[in-house]
Amino acid sequence: KLEDVRSVDPAALAMLAVADREGYETVWDRLKQQQPQCRMGQTGVCCRICSMGPCRINPSGKKPDRGVCGADADTIVARNLIRMIAAGASSHSDHGRKPAILLREIAAGHNADYGIKDPEKLLAVAARLGIAVEGLSLLEVAGEVAEVSLECFGKQDGEPIRFLQRYMPARRQERFQRLETEIAASTGRRPGFLPRSIDREPVDVLHRTTFGTDHDPLSLLIQGVRCALADGWGGSMIATELQDVLFGTPRAKAAQANLGVIDADYVNILVHGHEPIFSEKLIDCSLGEEMQAVAREHGAKGVKVIGMCCTVNEVLMRKGVAVAGNHLHQELAVMTGAIEAVVVDVQCILPSMVNLTRCFHTRFITTSDQAMFPGAIHIQYDEQNARRVSEEVVRTAIAAFSDRNPAKVSIPQEVMEARVGYGVEELSRHLGGDLHPLAVALADGTIRGIVGIVGCNNPKITQDYLHVGLARELIREGVLVVGTGCSAIAVAKAGLMGLEVADQAAAGLRDFCRRHNLPPVLHMGSCVDCSRLLVLFSDLAERLDLDVSELPVVGSAPEWTTEKALTIGTYFAASGVPVHLGHMPPIAGSSTVTRILTEDLRGLLGGYFFVEGELLPATAAILAVLDERRARFLS
Ligand code: BF8
């Protein structure tokens, strides 16, 4: 039975056989130990906001139907959900703050370790933000862009943040404003959809969900939308744009994916997490001749950096660093016995990694004081001392090489070639300078639609099954797939990101890909790079004189796990993109919240959620949405 199969990836299955044989505990084992999982939590009806509780609503409709304070299921579910959205938005946005601060430091001449790798992108961002650059030096432009970015985090007026104003199509902004006016006229409320500042919206969520404040599910969800928009069009957009400025806008390149990239002859450093500021330097340091020579002195052929999750997506897109795997591969990589150091920054790092690395010679190194793990080696990364810290980390990894136990080394052979690096700029370059040919192909049906498959692995779902299955089915149906995050890694591991994969696509898509030298599944980066999908969809909509809500596009997070994934889904839906989820978020305990998100939102904003966990029905549901939109915009 599929639900008993832990992964569709043969490399994962090989390592899970090792785990079973040697007794290494994995995320799948712990999921089993947690069964049966709490139904109140699953349906969102558990409330821990005050100490009169914890309370829970009986999901079967019997008593208790209210918490001690009187809150009903609608209030409790909506509050819980928007707190998840706020957490997701906060993590993406706090990530985005760091390149903005670094850019300001560079502009002020306070950081010589980093520089502006892509002046062209800097000027493009400045132009987009409406910054007059005439007569300014490059560093002065950088300073202006950094200031505008940082102002989006902390300003205190009620105007929408500048990034949203300048990146979101005007017609979509007008839709939000119309909706605000309509709701105000009919209810007397003054709802706000457009984010006032990136830091303010999660604070507003925490404020209004605190004991005895906002109890109206619609009001709560509107603030959830505003907070998610602050992420997509704010924090994540800033992260993407400024990282391109600092480290280079991605260009198409060859790369390799899966555990077979681990090379037993080398000191293997596994970078893991999300933020590229440190890993960029770590890679430069590792690959420099000095560290390679030190590794050779220790008996290795050299140092190799590979990566996991979104940190690797960042350095894969820009530097072609090999991908060892996605979220559920992190424990499996350690079990190969050939990783000298796991070097982590923030987010999506399993705390189980500390104990697991102790079964091997592997050093588990934390580098951010925001992500501390008891038992880890902590080497604090600091932008001011990036070179020194990088060297210390690499030397720590090299020193571990002599402790490696060859008897414990077991590396699966699986490794796939992939073409990666397709941000909107690179995609435009392939299309001859801008997205016009793609817009035409969408309009004339050469391409049936575009689906962004994004998000995590989840041990409740056979690893990669839906990511890979959906990508394969959709290209067969003539749908261009764009991927980010762990989904993109799943597809790369499955060998579906090569140019030759066009042969598996429907004729129109196949010919389009061949003509423009593109794979039919495009790797668009990390999870903050879901902002690239917003830019892509907005550009196409404007070219076709449509609102995004009329475009044949869908977002899908079929194996979602984290709060961040729900935030992405919410800003997609609020931006006019229907969103498929492979399993239910914790909202089923409120029919009102479920109705708002799966039905009402469609009329209000054009995007909405739908849930389908089986591959073929999910494919059919996605195609139905695309075809329905096509039929409408062609009529
Ligand atoms: O931010 S897809 S498991 S790694 S949350 Fe995490 Fe999910 Fe992977 Fe990237 Ni995104």
> What are the pocket residues of ligand 1 if the criterion is a CB atom closer than 6 Å to any ligand atom?
274, 309-310, 327, 348, 455-456, 485-486, 526-527, 561-562, 564-565
Residue 470 parent element (H or E): helix 465-476
Of 124, 335, 86, whose CA–CA distance to 220 is shortest?
A: 86
Ligand 1 pocket test target in 85, 347, 353 with most atoms within 8 Å of CB: 347
Ligand 1 pocket test target in 27, 91, 94, 456 with most atoms within 8 Å of CB: 456
Using H for helix, E for strand and C for coil, what is the string for 329-348?
A: HHHHHHHCCCCCEEEECCCC
Residue 168 pLDDT level (bands cut at 50, 70, 90): very high
**Would you state the pLDDT for residue 190?**
81
Atom of ligand 1 nearest to the CA of 347: 6
**Would you state the pLDDT for residue 479?**
98
Number of Cβ within a 10 Å radius of residue 110: 11
Q: Which are the contacts of 347, defined by CB distance < 8 A and separation ≥ 6?
A: 91, 95, 273, 274, 309, 310, 371, 562, 564
Tell me, what DSSP letter sits at residue 190? -
Cα angle 462, 413, 23; round to 5: 60
Distance of CA 446 to the CA centre of its chain: 29
The Å distance, Cα 374 to ligand 1 centre, comes to: 22
Question: Residue 450: what are its φ and ψ, rounded to 5°?
Answer: -125, 130
Q: Which are the contacts of 447, defined by CB distance < 8 A and separation ≥ 6?
A: 438, 441, 478, 479, 480, 508, 509, 512
Does pLDDT of 2 surpass 70? no
Tokens at 395, concatenated: 């030397």
Distance, CA of 615 to CA of 556 (rounded, Å):
12
Tell me, what DSSP letter sits at residue 450? E
Judged by DSSP in three states, 567 sits in: helix
User: For 445-461, how does the pLDDT look when each residue is reduced to its tens digit (9 = 90+)?
Assistant: 999 999 999 999 999 99
Residue given tokens 């089993």 in the structure block: 32
Tokens at 532, concatenated: 């690239």
Partners of 452 in the β-ladder: 482, 555
Mean pLDDT of 607-624: 98
Atom of ligand 1 nearest to the CA of 484: 2
How is the chain split among helix, strand and coil, in percent rounded to 5?
A: 55, 10, 35
Share of the chain above pLDDT 70, in %: 99
Least confident stretch, 177-186, 207-216, 353-362, 613-622? 177-186
Residue 66 pLDDT level (bands cut at 50, 70, 90): very high
The Å distance, Cα 222 to ligand 1 centre, comes to: 25
Averaged pLDDT of the chain: 97
Mean pLDDT of 151-162: 97
Distance, CA of 463 to CA of 458 (rounded, Å):
7
User: Terminus-to-terminus CA distance in the chain, angstroms?
Assistant: 44
User: For 220-243, how does the pLDDT look when each residue is reduced to its tens digit (9 = 90+)?
Assistant: 999 999 999 999 999 999 999 999
Residue given tokens 């066009």 in the structure block: 502
Partners of 479 in the β-ladder: 449
Tell me, what DSSP letter sits at residue 477? T
Of 572, 611, 614, whose CA–CA distance to 473 is shortest?
A: 614
Q: Which are the contacts of 24, defined by CB distance < 8 A and separation ≥ 6?
A: 18, 331, 335, 356, 359
What secondary structure does DSSP assign to 389-408, as a single string? HHHHHHHHHHHHHTT--GGG
Distance, CA of 466 to CA of 200 (rounded, Å):
36
Distance, CA of 457 to CA of 479 (rounded, Å):
22
User: For 243-301, how does the pLDDT look when each residue is reduced to its tens digit (9 = 90+)?
Assistant: 999 999 999 999 999 999 999 999 999 999 999 999 999 999 999 999 999 999 999 99
The Å distance, Cα 405 to ligand 1 centre, comes to: 31
Give ipTM to 2 decimals: 0.96
What secondary structure does DSSP assign to 461-518, as a single string? S-BTHHHHHHHHHHHHTTEEEEE-HHHHHHHHHTT--SGGGGGGS-HHHHHHHHHHT-
Residue having the nearest C-alpha atom to atom 6 of ligand 1: 348
Tokens at 594, concatenated: 């479920």
Of 108, 104, 55, 107, whose CA–CA distance to 79 is shortest?
A: 55
Tokens at 45, concatenated: 């009806």
Distance, CA of 30 to CA of 40 (rounded, Å):
20
Residue 1 pLDDT level (bands cut at 50, 70, 90): low
Cis preceding linkage at 160, omega within 30:
no
Spatial contact of 281 and 137, defined as CB atoms under 8 Å apart: no
User: For 369-380, how does the pLDDT look when each residue is reduced to its tens digit (9 = 90+)?
Assistant: 999 999 999 999
User: For 83-139, how does the pLDDT look when each residue is reduced to its tens digit (9 = 90+)?
Assistant: 999 999 999 999 999 999 999 999 999 998 999 999 999 999 999 999 999 999 999
**Would you state the pLDDT for residue 187?**
85
- Go through 345-381 and write b for each residue having 16 or more CB atoms within 10 A of its CB, e for each that does not: bbbbbbebbbebbeebbbbbbbbbeebebeebbebeb
